[in-house]
Amino acid sequence: MKIAIFGDIHGNIEALMAAYAEAVTRGVDRIYHLGDLGGYAPFVNEVIDFLIEHGIEGVQGNYDETVANNREHCGCKYEDPFQAEMAALGFEWTKNHASQKSKDYMKNLPFEIRISFEGKKVIIFHASPRKNNLYWYEDRTEKFFREMSEKVDADVFIYGHTHRPYRKDLDGKVFINAGSVGKPKDGDTRSCFTLVEITGGYVKSEFVRVAYDVEKTASAIIESGLPSCFAEKLRMGT
């Protein structure tokens, strides 16, 4: 069984369509998304329609939870006051433009999905097993990885939220941050998704990068009235 993981799409339908086409080419059996479906690019409703239409199940991100419940704050972390102000504008824009159907979809997403194949228990969540807005970066200590995973009955942990892909193997467990389909922050502007295949007890993973029309999404961001710095960041992969 081979699965594809689509992390943090953030309203970028162009990136999602490109990632989906590549996943189909790679012959995946199933695709899961990691939530954070809106914000930063304008196509939150189109993204959700696409996921429903293509039978892609997934989990709830902090952005989904806060948009769906009309909260004051998206629960994101900001690098500086300017970014905080821009993110707040983007959050308001998304709350105002997400349809009721989209909000209902986001509201009803589960916190986690558990699957099991080839004798391995896999858990899929947005950011961490208990909190949807914790940034689980690769350079966290081994103690942190152990604390996050010790009370969770799983062999393979799959999550996103940081938009920076990595894999770490520790104590027989596999930790995979699947990166971001719609808003990569690792300096590579291409869309990122992750393939996971378990054969003979071995967990094989691959970060797939897919070129897409970044400029089309960047132009749509500017036309939509979202902060133009989101277009700049997309062009730089930051």
Chain positions contacting Fe ion, by CB under 5 A: 8, 36
**175 versus 203: smaller Cβ distance to Fe ion:** 175
- Say how many Å lie between the first and final Cα of the chain, rounded: 33
In one-letter notation, the amino acid at residue 80 is D
In angstroms, rounded to a whole number, what is the distance separating the alpha carbons of residues 226 and 134?
Answer: 25
**8 versus 65: smaller Cβ distance to Fe ion:** 8
**3-state secondary structure (DSSP) of residue 229:** helix
In angstroms, rounded to a whole number, what is the distance separating the alpha carbons of residues 197 and 93?
Answer: 38
**33 versus 173: smaller Cβ distance to Fe ion:** 33
Enter the tokens of residue 159: 């999550």
In one-letter notation, the amino acid at residue 94 is T
Give the shortest CB-124-to-Fe ion separation in angstroms: 15
Q: At residue 193, what are phi and psi to the nearest 5 degrees?
A: -135, 170
Q: Judge residue 17's burial from the number of C-beta atoms within 10 Å of its C-beta, 0-12 exposed, 13-18 middle, 19 or more buried.
A: middle
Give the shortest CB-52-to-Fe ion separation in angstroms: 20
**92 versus 169: smaller Cβ distance to Fe ion:** 92
Give the shortest CB-8-to-Fe ion separation in angstroms: 4
**22 versus 36: smaller Cβ distance to Fe ion:** 36
**91 versus 203: smaller Cβ distance to Fe ion:** 91
Give the shortest CB-36-to-Fe ion separation in angstroms: 4
Give the shortest CB-163-to-Fe ion separation in angstroms: 6
Let me know: does 203 contact 174? Beta carbons within 8 Å: yes
In angstroms, rounded to a whole number, what is the distance separating the alpha carbons of residues 135 and 166?
Answer: 13
Let me know: does 63 contact 37? Beta carbons within 8 Å: yes
Give the shortest CB-117-to-Fe ion separation in angstroms: 27
